[in-house]
Amino acid sequence: MDALPTLLAHTNMTWYLLPLAAVISLVYSASRYEQTERILRRAGKLFAQIILFMGAILALLAMLSYRL
Amino acid sequence: MSDPRIPLKEPKLAALLAFLLPGAGHLYQGRYFKAGLYAVCIWGLFLYGMSLADWKIVNAPPLHGNASRRGVMLKYAAQFGVGAPALVALMQSERYYKESNRPVRQLDAPLDAPFTGELTLRTRQTAGDVTGTVYLEPAQGGFGAEVIRGRFAGTDADGEPVEVQLGEFVELGRPISADSKRYLQAEVIDDAGGRIQSLGHLHGSIPRPFWNWFVVPLDDKQDRELHRQLGKYHELATVFTMIAGLLNVLAIWDALEGPAYGYGDEPESTDETPDTEAEQADADKDSSDKQPVAEAVS
């Protein structure tokens, strides 16, 4: 159990976005449709949109803070 | 109106179940895929957030008075969506803020518990770590006051047996608090010959029962300590538990009214551009298949 906090301390917090975005995409899509295949397809699309959007914001912030 | 193919059964009961235990409402309705999806996603997110913060991140505000702690209201309002744990937190808040929950200097009944801490004896002029068991009981002190007396029996850091008498000034932490350890401090005495003589001091902690610390509100000192320990992971744990609560609101609504956009076999709406030409062709085929039915109905 001691290894977990050490592991967490060395994990970049940005990676937590992936499971969070996956969960949000799945639950949101499940609340929109009933059909399993449609839920999964739409969740995949939403997940990609979230990651792309956040990636764009990250790139913008990185660009604005370049050489600061 | 929900699609008749979706078995909502008793929607209000399903919504209540979905609130209490994410996924349970859909399980009751026989919507097993969704039950599993909601349970894994919402419970997973919530419990992971809780574990990141040492199971102390859900703090219900006091129901009566104590306005200074109402700052936790917004955070708790989002976490409330997750149901059972939030309700337990509310119950714990009610217990925690009771007048009777204060540091204990008198006991109603004898108490024995495992103890870890430090023993300081004047004769040795040193402090040493000790582990063992404390035996405490109510007693009559000077001037008829009710006090706690008892003894500690255990071993020191070298494994040597230690047994001392405790008395007069014994204090136990409050019974209910957001810490699995309950502090104990006591004066070490020698009452040989009927005259009480102070020999030193014992301080440390005894375990607190699970239901006396789980999701109990933090006091200011504990809150600061948790922030210090976790740093940015405190915020992360808060966000995870809050989002889990908010997502369950969608699941509750789904149990009550069915999915917002329909069953899912309808053609995709025009604002959702199909990814491939094949999907476009499927959508066109679906709409052309349904056209005669619509016309026949009209």
* Lowest mean pLDDT segment, chosen from B130-134, B157-161, B171-175: B157-161
pLDDT tens digit sequence for B43-99 = 999 999 999 999 999 999 888 766 666 667 889 999 999 999 999 999 999 999 998
pLDDT for position B297? 40
Listed residue (B161, B171, B162, B179) closest to B136, CA to CA = B171
d(CA B243, CA B220): 24
Nearest 10 degrees: CA dihedral of B155, B129, B120, B124?
Answer: 70
Which residue in B37, B55, B240, B241 has the most chain A C-beta atoms within 10 A of its own C-beta, making it the best mutation to test that interface?
B37
Q: Tell me the angle at which helices B44-52 and B232-257 cross, rounded to the nearest 10 degrees.
A: 160
The CA distance from B260 to the nearest CA of chain A, in Å, is 5
Q: What is the mean pLDDT of residues A51-59?
A: 94
* Share of residues in chain B with pLDDT > 70 (%): 86
Which residue in A34, A35, A38 has the most chain B C-beta atoms within 10 A of its own C-beta, making it the best mutation to test that interface?
A34
Q: What is the mean pLDDT of residues B143-147?
A: 80
* Lowest mean pLDDT segment, chosen from B133-142, B174-183, B237-246: B133-142
Query: B251 falls in which pLDDT band (50, 70, 90)?
Result: very high
Q: If you measure CA to CA, which chain B residue comes closest to A46?
A: B272
| Mean pLDDT over each residue of chain A, to the nearest integer | 88
The CA distance from A63 to the nearest CA of chain B, in Å, is 24
- How many other CB atoms are found less than 10 A from the CB of residue B250? 22
pLDDT for position B296? 41
Q: Which two tokens stand for residue B248?
A: 């369950």
Which residue in B2, B5, B33, B230 has the most chain A C-beta atoms within 10 A of its own C-beta, making it the best mutation to test that interface?
B33
d(CA B59, CA B64): 15
Annotate B156-202 with DSSP letters as a single string: ETTS-EEEEEEEEEEEE--SS-SSSEEEEEEEEEE-GGG--EEEEEE
- CB B233 to CB A27 under 8 A? no
pLDDT tens digit sequence for B20-33 = 999 999 999 999 99
The CA distance from B38 to the nearest CA of chain A, in Å, is 6
Statement: residue B284 has pLDDT above 70: no
pLDDT for position A3? 57
Listed residue (B208, B165, B160) closest to B190, CA to CA = B165
d(CA B92, CA B83): 14
- The amino acid at residue B149 is R
**Candidates A19, A28, A37; nearest CB to B250:** A28
B167 in Cβ contact with B189 (< 8 Å): yes
Region at B262 (left for phi over 0; alpha for psi -120 to 50; beta for the rest)? left
pLDDT for position B157? 87
Which residue in A26, A31, A40 has the most chain B C-beta atoms within 10 A of its own C-beta, making it the best mutation to test that interface?
A31
* Share of residues in chain B with pLDDT > 90 (%): 59
Q: What is the mean pLDDT of residues B36-45?
A: 97
Statement: residue B269 has pLDDT above 70: no
Statement: residue B103 has pLDDT above 80: yes
- CB B261 to CB A32 under 8 A? yes
CA B284 from centre of chain? 52
Whether A48 contacts chain B with CB within 8 A: no
Statement: residue B212 has pLDDT above 90: yes
d(CA A53, CA B244): 21
pTM over 0.95: no
Based on its alpha-carbon atoms, the radius of gyration of chain A, rounded to whole angstroms, reads 16
Residues belonging to chain B with any Cβ–Cβ distance to chain A shorter than 8 Å: 3, 5-6, 31, 33-34, 37-38, 41-42, 44-45, 52, 232-233, 236, 239-240, 243, 247, 250-251, 253-254, 258-265, 275
pLDDT for position B291? 45
Statement: residue B283 has pLDDT above 70: no
Q: Which residues are bridge partners to B115 per DSSP?
A: B132
Statement: residue B139 has pLDDT above 70: yes
Residues of chain B in contact with residue A32, where contact means CB-CB under 8 angstroms, are: 259-261
- CB A31 to CB B243 under 8 A? no
Q: If you measure CA to CA, which chain A residue comes closest to B38?
A: A27
pLDDT for position B149? 86
* Lowest mean pLDDT segment, chosen from B125-129, B165-169, B234-238: B125-129
| Mean pLDDT over each residue of chain B, to the nearest integer | 86
Q: Which two tokens stand for residue B52?
A: 């990141």
Angle, CA of B50, B51 and B53, to the nearest 5°: 70
Residues of chain A in contact with residue B45, where contact means CB-CB under 8 angstroms, are: 19-20, 23
CA B245 from centre of chain? 14
pLDDT for position B93? 92
Q: Which two tokens stand for residue A9?
A: 């301390």
Whether A28 contacts chain B with CB within 8 A: yes
Q: What is the mean pLDDT of residues B155-176?
A: 89
- CB A34 to CB B253 under 8 A? no
pLDDT for position A39? 96
At residue B61, what are phi and psi to the nearest 5 degrees? -75, 160
Query: A43 falls in which pLDDT band (50, 70, 90)?
Result: very high
